[in-house]
Amino acid sequence: MCPKTFQDLISEVHKKGICQECGGCVSFCSAADFDIIAFKTPHSPPDYIHKEKCLECGICYYICPQTHILNEELTKEYGFLNYSSMPIGHYCDIYSCQATDVDFLKHGTDGGVVNSILFYLIEQKLIDGSIVSKAEVPFAREAFFADSKEGLLKASGTQLYMAPHLQEIEKFSTYTHTISELNHYKFKKLAIVGTPCQIYTIRCMQHLGVTPSENVEFCMGLLCYENFFFDKTESKKFQEEFNISFEEIDKLNIKEDVILTLKLNNGSYKRISLPFNHLNDYVRQACKACTDFSNIYADISFGGLASPQNYTTVITRTKKGEEIFQNALRAGIIKALDLTNNKKAQMVNLIAQYSTKKVERKSKYMKKIINGSEKNYRKQESFKIREKV
């Protein structure tokens, strides 16, 4: 039987509107020098560029996070038994941590823990650098390779390198194509920071032993409920609806809600909290067809949910992940709150609730796609911003 190919991804994934644009298929095909497919336009699924030369190897289909072909193999490999008993996947332990370095803490998204651990790995020469993402403007990030503290600080949460002409930007997306960046650094030992869809694809590549995953030493996974996409009309609508200006956004945190810290004209700061269910109109469509919240195939998962402000929730999953975490802790790179078993269980429960919510959302969304009512899926509840400060 012929393997399925990119043509099948078009009919089974793209046409349903559920391509997560993770870039896995394109990265493999171009890293293997086949060069059959590419992202022709930003914020759209990839497409053929040399269809007639396709080798029909089927790898793009196997590694796509929306085909789930390798689920069972990965589940065995990563010790993840079944969803109903383990909605957050297999894990070694859970922590609430903070960077001890003042720069990583000050500029970090939550506790500055991801960048602190990456810097520790670079200093220990366990990696040459990491694929990370820097914010060019609020709601728009770009992948890049960081191999120094300075580089990592550029990738921190609050270091917004504001584009001078924000109003001229046509489309904003919080999603970063970190996997595509791997192709440029095939001869280096790498860590990668990624969302669950991206880490899943990399694990599929590693399972099949295909390029460009061979040099990925560490997968640093971010918790991810959804990403946002705005075209010009939607960004205007968003700013009007929530009575904010993109220029004012100083920081974006994601916990039980999406929290924006605004720097106002008079120099003061204001935090506003936007509940997820009021942001439906701005969510990337494919994110509604995604089930992994807690990044179950990462070496370590990181999130804001379940930890206090300026702390990062850390879920160690693989032996390798737990080992580097413990070493970083012993070296004093990060510090952890002293949590009781009861508190840890509460954190796991909260993360499990979001994981389950995501699975239920996909099931509803796919029903809407099948019965053709998705276009009418708009926000219905009235909205009131919960002001924090």
Ligand X SMILES: Cc1cc2nc3c(=O)[nH]c(=O)nc-3n(C[C@H](O)[C@H](O)[C@H](O)COP(=O)(O)OP(=O)(O)OC[C@H]3O[C@@H](n4cnc5c(N)ncnc54)[C@H](O)[C@@H]3O)c2cc1C
Nearest residue to 25 (alpha-carbon basis) of 67, 59, 66, 74: 59
The only residue of 254, 260, 290, 306 in contact with ligand SF4, by rule CB under 6 A: 290
Which CB sits closer to ligand X, 112 or 321? 112
Nearest residue to 9 (alpha-carbon basis) of 28, 25, 29, 27: 25
The only residue of 272, 303, 316, 347 in contact with ligand X, by rule CB under 6 A: 303
Site string for ligand SF4, 240-279 (x = CB under 6 A): ----------------------------------------
How many C-alpha atoms does 34 have within 13 Å on its Cβ side? 24
Which CB sits closer to ligand SF4, 56 or 240? 56
Span near ligand X by CB under 6 A; candidates 7-15, 17-25, 151-159, 231-239: 151-159
Contacts with ligand X in 246-265 (CB under 6 A)? 254-255
CB atoms inside a 10 Å sphere around CB 387: 9
CB atoms inside a 10 Å sphere around CB 258: 21
The only residue of 19, 121, 152, 244 in contact with ligand SF4, by rule CB under 6 A: 19
Taking the alpha carbons at both ends of the chain, their separation in whole angstroms is: 62
**CA-to-CA distance for 190 and 179, rounded, in angstroms?**
12
SS3 (DSSP) at 341? helix
Residue 192 interacts with ligand SF4 (CB under 6 A): yes or no: no
Residue 6 interface partner, choices ligand SF4, ligand X, none, CB cut-off 5-8 Å depending on type: ligand SF4
Phi-psi region of 116 (alpha: psi -120 to 50; beta: other; left: phi over 0): alpha
Span near ligand SF4 by CB under 6 A; candidates 1-9, 147-155, 207-215, 307-315: 1-9
Residue 70 interacts with ligand SF4 (CB under 6 A): yes or no: no
**CA-to-CA distance for 385 and 244, rounded, in angstroms?**
11
Residue 235 interface partner, choices ligand SF4, ligand X, none, CB cut-off 5-8 Å depending on type: none
At how many degrees (to 10) do helices 319-330 and 113-123 cross? 90
Which CB sits closer to ligand X, 59 or 298? 298
Phi-psi region of 380 (alpha: psi -120 to 50; beta: other; left: phi over 0): alpha
Residue 361 interface partner, choices ligand X, ligand SF4, none, CB cut-off 5-8 Å depending on type: none
Residue 321 interacts with ligand X (CB under 6 A): yes or no: no
User: Residue 47: exposed, middle, or buried by beta-carbon count in 10 A (0-12, 13-18, 19+)?
Assistant: middle
* Contact present, 128 and 153 (Cβ < 8 Å): no
Site string for ligand X, 112-131 (x = CB under 6 A): xxxx----------------
The only residue of 101, 110, 226, 257 in contact with ligand SF4, by rule CB under 6 A: 226
**The two three-digit tokens of residue 123, written as one number:** 């200093």
Span near ligand X by CB under 6 A; candidates 209-217, 296-304, 358-366, 373-381: 296-304
The only residue of 23, 46, 65, 108 in contact with ligand X, by rule CB under 6 A: 108
**The two three-digit tokens of residue 212, written as one number:** 């460009």
**CA-to-CA distance for 204 and 201, rounded, in angstroms?**
5
How many C-alpha atoms does 375 have within 13 Å on its Cβ side? 1
Q: By CB under 6 A, name the binding residues for ligand X.
A: 104, 108-115, 132-133, 141, 155-157, 174, 176, 178, 193-195, 222-225, 227, 254-255, 302-305, 312
Q: By CB under 6 A, name the binding residues for ligand SF4.
A: 5-6, 9, 13, 19-25, 28-29, 34, 36-37, 45-46, 54-60, 64-66, 175, 195-197, 201, 224, 226-227, 284, 286-287, 290, 292
